Structure 1
Amino acid sequence: MLGRVLTHLDRLVACDTQNPPRTIAPDHPAIAYCISVLKHSGCAISLTDHGDGCVTLLATRGEARTVVNCHLDTVPADPSWTRDPFKLVVEGDDAVGLGACDVKGAAACMLAAIEESDGAVALLLTTDEEAGQSRCVREFLKQELPYDRAVIAEPTGVKAVTKHRGLATYELAFRGVAAHSSVIGADQRNAVHHASLWCAKAIGLTESKPYDDIRLNIGMIEGGTKANVAASSAKVIFGMRPPPGMHPDTPARVLRDLVQDPENCVWKTRFAAPGLDETDGTPGLLSDYGFAKGDPVDFWTEAALFGEAGLATVVLGPGNIKQAHAADEFVPLDDLRRAAEAYKKVFSDPVDAADLAGTMSDAKGAR
């Protein structure tokens, strides 16, 4: 099956799906190629264009209980690439190309697995994961869906990850009053001072439980014009990665209360999503497909959104996260082989309509 995988990966890598810019449309060559392969394998295709480069392709065959998800977009190629990022090259035991690890290698494995299986299929391909808003997945999960399980592709070394951290980013805009720094009281109305005070309090909060493990990161502080002028505005952009089981909203409320002058601070949530945690259905998902369980990871994936929607969910894909977004990105050939076999187990699932109806009835009652 590795030969099929590399054929698909070669075609997918050749398709420019860099994101940004958000220019992927339903007629994009990568989507057209996937549709051709999937139709030839007996899949029905549903294509949804959400605009702004957000396209969803749902391929179905039979009545599956497990939906498998993979994104087709990549980050922009870093200038330090030493070769053509859109030309797949096999070097030794690795396949090198933009997206080979994150995560077109997984998509190629899925296409090959569907070709070599005859079971039920529910494959969701999206184009906006790297944009950071997850619109495709969020819109998909708003529907009434006939699935109680999900397998999400990200680089995990073909281990089934059942837990990972949440992710949230915020922007604080502080307002002050511009004044000469010699004026008494100017420092009390200096927006940069207020921003700095909040940053100090936020860092202090993370030095004790229960917020000592939220992985707070103050990524940007902007404001002011020069040393002798009290700043009229300042901006702080920060993020955090709370552990599984802690929704970002919980520490966010505490952090927001640390603002000294709330009337002169605008708090904006850029992105907030919980982590992935195990559910009652996770052990069955692992055992039914013979997945090897992986350790929890610190990076966030869209698997968390499927888990939040009530599906037993794991993250499983070829490659190592250290190669994701890197120049001369590669994925081991052995990972591709093993991932294709793992996905084939899912696409060989012989669930029929009667069994599926009973399963979903039980699942909805449990939610």
Structure 2
Amino acid sequence: MRLEELTNDAILLLKKLIETQSFSSEESVTASHIEDWFKRYNISFKRTKNNVWAINKHFDNTKPTLLLNSHHDTVKPNSAYTKDPFKAIVEDGKLYGLGSNDAGGCLVSLIATFTHFYNQKDLKYNLVIVASAEEESSGPNGLNSMLPIIPKVDVAIVGEPTLMNLAVAEKGLVVFDAVIEGTPSHAAHPNDNNAIYKSIEALKWFKDFKFEKGSEALGDVKLTVTQINAGSQHNVVPGHVDLVIDVRVNDAYSNKEVAKILQENAPVTSIKPRSLHLNSSSIPMEHELVKAGIAMGRTTYGSPTLSDQAWLSCASLKLGPGDSTRSHSADEFIYLNEIEEGIQIYVELLNRVLIPA
């Protein structure tokens, strides 16, 4: 199959995906569009809820397995859109539409790449592709639900917009709910245990606190207070202040370690993590995927944004066409030549890794 034909078909598929609403947990119709691709190319596939997946034709249980993954759900469009988010519009070499950049361009490029290699014999790795659901919401029926179903994965490429550079590490995420307790009272009376005033010290502590261990790829752990809530009316001193803290975790700590440090040191009454499952992820710099990418002139970096990599326990590389800064933006777009380049780079990278020397 010529790459030019696959590229043209991939762009047509992306246009269909854009013009089909697919908010997280509402991806049934986009999953059907992806099924249509596999049927057209005579690729045997399976569908588990709204996840569509396939293995290469000559799958060999004695070989390691490489996962290709990206998602077909989207966030809801924001109010600043000037174009119809559900209309695939091409202008000046850009394809506009919700999910075009995050992560439709990556998904269709990986599907085209998988199709290119599907029938090849004697590959060094098996290939598994998962077009997954519920990535944007970290929902229960996304890639995380597929890992017990698909063959065991040894290494993964996760398609997210990276300008086709190699995100060799990705920060994890822990969201904490914290409470500062005080003494409730009438505002007219003295109160030396005002929870709102006590929160000043706590907020300063969170602002100034630094985790000791940095990371070459991911830098420091980033801690940010993102929500604060207290009080019900003007003449009542509240009994507590609620905080939400967003912590982006580097690969020098586990999420459990971060939780332990904050629970032992933060000047609050209580602090509890919502989940400890979204861990940081990385791939060794000496892995052949990374070495092949570097040999092709691609740069490496650590990504501050979260993806489905967080569910993977194996080595994983984030790589895809498009630019992360466009994700979730108004009038989201991807350049058509980014998709063309993305497919070419994916295929060249896997040729270097999959094809025996």
The normalised TM-score by structure 2 is 0.82
Counterpart of 2:32 in structure 1: which amino acid?
A: A
Q: Is 1:167 aligned with 2:173?
A: yes
Distance 1:266 1:165 in 2: 21
On the 8 A contact 1:159/1:294 being kept in 2, the answer is: yes
Q: Is 1:230 aligned with 2:237?
A: yes
On the 8 A contact 1:276/1:304 being kept in 2, the answer is: yes
- 1:24-71 alpha-carbon deviations (Å, 9 max, x no partner): 3xxx2211111121133333322223xxxxx32221223272110001
Q: 1:225 to 1:91 in 2, by over 3 A?
A: same
Q: 1:260 to 1:103 in 2, by over 3 A?
A: closer
- 1:219-256 alpha-carbon deviations (Å, 9 max, x no partner): 11100134542212321011021223322332332222
On the 8 A contact 2:277/2:310 being kept in 1, the answer is: no
Mapping for residues 240-319 of structure 1, pairs under 5 Å: 240-260=247-267, 262=269, 265=270, 267-270=272-275, 273-279=278-284, 283-287=287-291, 292-306=298-312, 309=313, 311-319=314-322
Mapping for residues 186-197 of structure 1, pairs under 5 Å: 186-188=191-193, 190-197=194-201
Counterpart of 2:170 in structure 1: which amino acid?
A: H
What is the deviation of 1:78?
1.4
- 1:291-332 alpha-carbon deviations (Å, 9 max, x no partner): 6242222222222432xx1x2211111111111111111112
For structure 1, which segment, 141-150 or 83-92, has the greater mean C-alpha deviation from structure 2 after superposition? 141-150
Q: 1:144 to 1:339 in 2, by over 3 A?
A: closer
What is the deviation of 1:172?
1.8
- 1:85-105 alpha-carbon deviations (Å, 9 max, x no partner): 111122122211111100011
What is the deviation of 1:142?
4.2
Counterpart of 2:51 in structure 1: which amino acid?
A: T
On the 8 A contact 1:71/1:125 being kept in 2, the answer is: yes
Distance 2:268 2:288 in 1: 51
Q: 1:246 to 1:79 in 2, by over 3 A?
A: same
Counterpart of 1:284 in structure 2: which amino acid?
A: E
What is the deviation of 1:259?
4.7
Counterpart of 2:178 in structure 1: which amino acid?
A: L
Distance 2:353 2:80 in 1: 46
Counterpart of 1:44 in structure 2: which amino acid?
A: S
Q: Could you tell me which residue of structure 2 aligns to residue 336 of structure 1?
A: 339
**Residue 150 of structure 1, aligned match among 134, 148, 156:** 156
Classify the secondary structure of the residue corresponding to 1:338: helix
On the 8 A contact 2:205/2:267 being kept in 1, the answer is: no
Classify the secondary structure of the residue corresponding to 2:112: helix
For structure 1, which segment, 132-141 or 197-206, has the greater mean C-alpha deviation from structure 2 after superposition? 132-141
What is the deviation of 1:271?
5.8
Classify the secondary structure of the residue corresponding to 2:170: coil
What is the deviation of 1:202?
2.1
On the 8 A contact 1:67/1:150 being kept in 2, the answer is: yes
Q: 1:278 to 1:350 in 2, by over 3 A?
A: closer
Classify the secondary structure of the residue corresponding to 1:129: coil
Counterpart of 1:6 in structure 2: which amino acid?
A: I
- 1:252-304 alpha-carbon deviations (Å, 9 max, x no partner): 32222235564xx3624256522222337x52123457662422222222224
Distance 2:10 2:343 in 1: 8
Query: Sequence identity of aligned pairs in percent?
Result: 18
What is the deviation of 1:140?
2.7
Counterpart of 1:225 in structure 2: which amino acid?
A: S
Distance 2:153 2:267 in 1: 47
Classify the secondary structure of the residue corresponding to 1:201: helix
Q: Could you tell me which residue of structure 2 aligns to residue 215 of structure 1?
A: 222
Q: Aligned-pair RMSD on alpha carbons?
A: 2.9
Classify the secondary structure of the residue corresponding to 1:10: helix
Q: Is 1:140 aligned with 2:135?
A: no
**Residue 15 of structure 1, aligned match among 20, 34, 38:** 20
Q: 1:169 to 1:79 in 2, by over 3 A?
A: same
Counterpart of 1:16 in structure 2: which amino acid?
A: Q
Distance 2:308 2:284 in 1: 16
What is the deviation of 1:169?
1.2
Distance 1:14 1:261 in 2: 47
On the 8 A contact 1:171/1:270 being kept in 2, the answer is: no
Distance 1:223 1:32 in 2: 46
On the 8 A contact 1:202/1:255 being kept in 2, the answer is: no
Classify the secondary structure of the residue corresponding to 1:147: coil
Q: Is 1:201 aligned with 2:205?
A: yes
Which residues of structure 1 form unaligned runs of 5+?
Answer: 50-54, 356-367
Q: Could you tell me which residue of structure 2 aligns to residue 364 of structure 1?
A: none
On the 8 A contact 2:185/2:238 being kept in 1, the answer is: yes
What is the deviation of 1:344?
3.3
Which residues of structure 2 form unaligned runs of 5+?
Answer: 121-125
Q: 1:79 to 1:260 in 2, by over 3 A?
A: closer
Distance 1:135 1:148 in 2: 22
